[in-house]
Amino acid sequence: MTKPFCFMFFLLLVSLLHCIKTSAQVPAAALSGPPNITAILEKGGQFTSFIRLLENTQQDDQINTQLNNSNQGLTVFAPTDNAFANLKSGTINSLSDQQKVQLVQFHILPTSMSTSQFQTASNPLRTQAGNSNDGEFPLNVTTSGNQVNLTTGVNEATVANTVFSGSNLAVYQVDQVLLPLDLFGSQAPAPAPSTPEKDVPVAATPKGSSTDASVDTSRALSLNHLALTMASSAISAFAAVSLL
């Protein structure tokens, strides 16, 4: 009686352990949740600079929060490390913290878009950076066959590859950092307001200046000429009287 009882107890124990192991695995699958933007980019292997910018601006947390709470999803254009290396030195560091946030948000669309949807999209695309209709953050898309190009008014980028495509997130590799017009556009300086010309007063000539000297010289010459004329007339008169 003892051996059969022990054998049954052993089978019961094995079954119990199997049930515990199975039940522990179910929540793990359920907790997979939405995709994580940082993990996706790290897996891509060539987005270190963009990941650093996302983390410095805390936009990585913002993206993950939106993916948890939004049904529309997001589209992210991820510039490669080569794209950042091609920027002029100091381009990113010259931006304020708020401008860096806007730069990152300019690479994000507030809806998930497939490559085929770009062919029928209306320009300008709406980004998370701000108003595109007022010329602040315009982003236009053009397609040629399977090629998708993005233009910002400052530069142009090509969608080179699909990094990730899910139900609520699409991540595309782009070969240039998208530079928004509001931050990098060359604006001609406004012309200086015209001011009426002021009459410049002529400084009074001081007494004894060269002008007075010229007048005095002119007067002296006139007097000398008058004296010579009178002397010549007197000589002529005296000669005429002498002849008489």
Give the tens place of pLDDT for each residue, 12-24. 555 545 544 444 3
Report which of residues 194 and 134 the model is more confident about.
134
- Which of 13-27, 97-111, 137-151 has the least mean pLDDT? 13-27
First to last CA, the chain: 194
Which of 128, 106, 130 lies closest to 180, judged by CA?
Answer: 106
In angstroms, the CA 207 to CA 68 distance is 91
Which residue is it, tokens 């062919």? Answer: 119
- The confidence score (pLDDT) of residue 7 equals 55
Q: Which of the four pLDDT bands, split at 50, 70 and 90, describes residue 113?
A: very high
User: Residue 65: pLDDT above 60?
Assistant: yes
User: What is the rounded CA–CA span in Å between residue 84 and residue 177?
Assistant: 6
Q: What is the length of the chain?
A: 244
Q: Give strand ranges (E) for the chain.
A: 74-79, 108-109, 140-144, 147-151, 156-165, 169-174
* φ, ψ at 198 (rounded to 5°): -95, 140
Count CB-CB contacts under 10 A for residue 172. 22
Q: Do residues 207 and 156 lie in contact, with contact meaning Cβ atoms separated by under 8 Å?
A: no
The confidence score (pLDDT) of residue 137 equals: 87
Q: How far apart are CA 103 and CA 79, in angstroms?
A: 12
pLDDT digits (tens, 9 = 90+) for 183-222: 998 643 333 444 444 444 444 444 444 444 444 444 444 5
How is residue 66 written in tokens?
A: 């939106």
Q: Which CATH class is domain 32-174?
A: mainly beta
Among the listed ranges 23-37, 43-57, 172-186, 196-210, which one has the minimum average pLDDT value?
196-210
Cβ–Cβ under 8 Å, residues 149 and 157: yes
Nearest to 175 by CA among 74, 47, 56: 47
pLDDT confidence of residue 132: 64
State residue 165 phi and psi, 5-degree precision.
Answer: -140, 115
Mean pLDDT score of the chain, rounded to an integer?
75
